Structure 1
Amino acid sequence: MADTLRIVHCFRSPVGGIFRHVRDLTEAQVAAGHLVGIVCDSTTGGDFEEHLFEQMKGRMALGIHRTPMQRHVGPGDLASAWRTFGIIKELRPDVLHGHGAKGGAYARLFGSLLRVSRSRVARVYSPHGGSLHYDETTVAGKLFFALERFMARFTDYLLFVSDYERQTYRRKVGEPPTPNNLVHNGLRAAEFEPVRTEPNAADVLYIGMMRDLKGPDIFIDALVLAGTRLGRPLKAVMVGDGDDLPRYHAQVKRLGLEGHVRFLPPMPARKAFALAELVVVPSRAEAMPY
């Protein structure tokens, strides 16, 4: 391959850890002189993510392409897959890097189709949790892990971002039959600078996706237990967005915490850290812990 590579990152949801990871990767790859592009879902994310995309646009020589992608397998997948394949084919990637279950399936499937037309595209996959979050003893888990084992034969390289992710893959899917490596998430020096807490800060902060996998419901229940032990209600801030957000609003109301819990939309992590004395991470599962 040429020294300058055409690299395309394909993933479904441009939020949370995956989006952070892809942003870091593209920044480093552009700095190394490569031409980089992104293909992801157009129905996920809000104003905060749009702002992040705007910041990236000038660096993405292959562009930022957004098209509807479903989380779950369904009838809409065929049309979505066809649109996504058309975008990727036009970009003519040397490296097609799929992130998460949906992005990984698309990258390996479409990369294989491109190879039929004599493309030499490298098919790279990073699970980032995705299907690895399923219980291997359930029917759904057994199906997804069988698919992972099947798709491994269409994978040129597996990249894991944490040892937990790699060990989970080995336990649930099996020893990778393809070359693989562990490359930890990086942090910038500025991210180690202390954050000055705002006046009248809350006691505790939850920041992350609003879905049960990340434990917002555990966080809310814990507020009640901790308040009882302390003899006073705790003040909390919950920062993030997601499909399950209305349920957490209802949970707060049901437990009588409306005057003590504040919900805020996604924002830069360091800005959120200043809103409380303590950050709480109640997550049930993580693949790429920062």
Structure 2
Amino acid sequence: MAKTKIAHLLHSLGGVDIYVRLLLNNIDTDSFENIVIHGTKDTAVPFLDKNKKNLKEYKISIFREISIFNDLKATYQTYQILKKEKPDLIHSHSAKGGIIGRVLGPILGVKVIYTPHAFSYLSSQSKLKRGIFLAIEKLLAKRSSLLLATSNSEKKRAIDEVGFDPQNTIVFNNCIEPILKIEPLSIPKTWPDYYICTVGRPSYQKNIEQMVRVMNEVNKEVKIHLVVMGVGPVSDQLESVKSLIQELDMENEVTLLSWTERTDVFNIIDQSKLYISTARYEGLPYAVIESLALSKPCVVTNCDGNRDLIKDGFNGFVINEDVIQFKEKILELLGDEKLLERMSKKSQQVFAENFSIKSNIKQLEAIYKSYN
């Protein structure tokens, strides 16, 4: 039987990069052939299949920033690649990949699956830009593509706000491989043993300033450190976060870590007391899924993605962006070992039942086959 050939189109950074690599590392190589079309400057790490063999990849001028020249160039480059490769299916990821794929798919007569990984219009603080980005999403939602949401919250938003047909909108949850081994840190440990952690670049989405304010309130009652991982190059609010840390005299209570190995992220989450997220929006955050896999209760904002992973009072707490309530729930967990232990076990249970890619990959394979 002929393999189904899938072209993945993306700007390969952050959660999108993790999603595609996990998919490629687990999908059946006897039934599917995958190629990857991504940016010239996003990643230099090869894409591998489940047999650890390099996959065919193409690099195009796709970047995070809006540029008419580069965006048109990337569209033309992708057109040439797709004409040559003749895939059975295009899986477009995130904003830029989603636009290019849904424009070219109908032109080339190729079906398109689009995964937003959190809709791009949510990232804009400007009402004008947000309106423009939403209008583009609404326009493209009318084209013949399948919306493959990463969470039920993302599916609901796609239908209610963007205008996707419910019949063309399905969910394949972000999921990861079980974390069976914790590797030693590859970086020096410069923070104390008693700490809370998060993964998130200082940005409007992750709202790290709110987290610093929460931890300032916590530290008025219980001294505990905060480790923030993921302070990489796309951190437009880094200076704002640093200024707030200095203003609140918290230089000794917060550690900001640049991008590091994923194994280090696992190590740091594993040794933390709990995980915290103050994000304004998510798709389905990998760091929270990893925290569940590592049996960590989470205290998170009530936003898309977070609310799909954490059930309030069961495996953590879900908060409506209230600093004092955040503080109270963190202190409740830190002060009650039995509660902490019970929620830790429930977190692992939620992961095992819902978010292991080893169990879920067949679902995605069936989606690809049925839509082809």
Which range, TM-score by smaller chain? 0.7 to 0.9
Q: Is residue 2:229 matched to residue 1:239?
A: yes
Structure 1 residue 281 displacement after superposition: 1.3
The equivalent of 2:267 in structure 1 is 271
* Residues 34 and 222 of structure 1: CA distance in aligned 2, closer, same or farther (over 3 Å): same
Structure 1 residue 205 displacement after superposition: 0.8
TM-score (norm 2): 0.64
Q: Is residue 2:179 matched to residue 1:191?
A: yes
Q: Is residue 2:261 matched to residue 1:262?
A: no
User: 1:248 aligned to 241, 261, 265, which one?
Assistant: 241
User: 1:158 aligned to 141, 147, 158, which one?
Assistant: 147
Q: Is residue 2:102 matched to residue 1:108?
A: yes
The equivalent of 1:38 in structure 2 is 36
Any gaps of 5 or more consecutive residues in structure 1?
Answer: 116-120
Structure 1 residue 60 displacement after superposition: 4.4
Q: Secondary structure at the match of 2:27?
A: helix
The equivalent of 1:118 in structure 2 is none
Bigger Cα displacement from structure 2, 159-168 vs 20-29: 20-29
Q: Write the mapping of 1:1-290 to structure 2, written as runs, cut at 5 A.
A: 3-12=2-11, 14-44=12-42, 50=44, 53-54=45-46, 56=48, 58-61=52-55, 63-76=56-69, 77-115=71-109, 121-131=110-120, 133=122, 138-176=127-165, 179-188=168-177, 190-191=178-179, 200-230=192-222, 232=223, 234-240=224-230, 241=232, 242-244=234-236, 245-266=238-259, 267-268=261-262, 269-289=265-285, 290=289
* Residues 113 and 11 of structure 1: CA distance in aligned 2, closer, same or farther (over 3 Å): same
Q: Secondary structure at the match of 2:64?
A: coil
Q: CA contact under 8 A between 2:21 and 2:47: conserved in structure 1?
A: no
Structure 1 residue 98 displacement after superposition: 0.6
Number of matched residues? 273
Q: CA contact under 8 A between 2:152 and 2:171: conserved in structure 1?
A: yes
Q: Secondary structure at the match of 1:129?
A: coil
Any gaps of 5 or more consecutive residues in structure 2?
Answer: 290-372
* Residues 110 and 225 of structure 1: CA distance in aligned 2, closer, same or farther (over 3 Å): same
Partner amino acid, structure 2, of 1:260: E
Q: Secondary structure at the match of 2:273?
A: strand
Q: CA contact under 8 A between 1:214 and 1:282: conserved in structure 2?
A: yes
Instruction: Tell me the distance in 2 between the aligned counterparts of 1:55 and 1:122.
Output: 23
Structure 1 residue 107 displacement after superposition: 0.8
* Residues 206 and 83 of structure 1: CA distance in aligned 2, closer, same or farther (over 3 Å): same
Structure 1 residue 273 displacement after superposition: 1.0
Instruction: Tell me the distance in 2 between the aligned counterparts of 1:261 and 1:22.
Output: 32
TM-score (norm 1): 0.80
| Cα offsets for 1:165-216 (capped at 9, x unmatched) | 011112211241763322222343x338899999942411121333220122
* Residues 64 and 217 of structure 1: CA distance in aligned 2, closer, same or farther (over 3 Å): farther
* Residues 178 and 112 of structure 1: CA distance in aligned 2, closer, same or farther (over 3 Å): farther
Partner amino acid, structure 2, of 1:67: I
Structure 1 residue 222 displacement after superposition: 1.7
> What is the percentage of aligned positions where both structures have the same residue?
20
Q: Secondary structure at the match of 1:213?
A: coil
Instruction: Tell me the distance in 2 between the aligned counterparts of 1:56 and 1:274.
Output: 27
Q: CA contact under 8 A between 1:195 and 1:274: conserved in structure 2?
A: no
Instruction: Tell me the distance in 1 between the aligned counterparts of 2:53 and 2:184.
Output: 31
* Residues 206 and 238 of structure 1: CA distance in aligned 2, closer, same or farther (over 3 Å): same
Instruction: Tell me the distance in 2 between the aligned counterparts of 1:73 and 1:258.
Output: 35
Instruction: Tell me the distance in 2 between the aligned counterparts of 1:156 and 1:212.
Output: 29
Structure 1 residue 162 displacement after superposition: 0.7
Instruction: Tell me the distance in 1 between the aligned counterparts of 2:164 and 2:99.
Output: 19
Q: CA contact under 8 A between 1:206 and 1:239: conserved in structure 2?
A: yes
Structure 1 residue 154 displacement after superposition: 2.7
Structure 1 residue 288 displacement after superposition: 1.6
Instruction: Tell me the distance in 2 between the aligned counterparts of 1:90 and 1:249.
Output: 48
Structure 1 residue 101 displacement after superposition: 1.5
Q: What is the RMSD computed on CA atoms of the aligned residues? A: 3.2
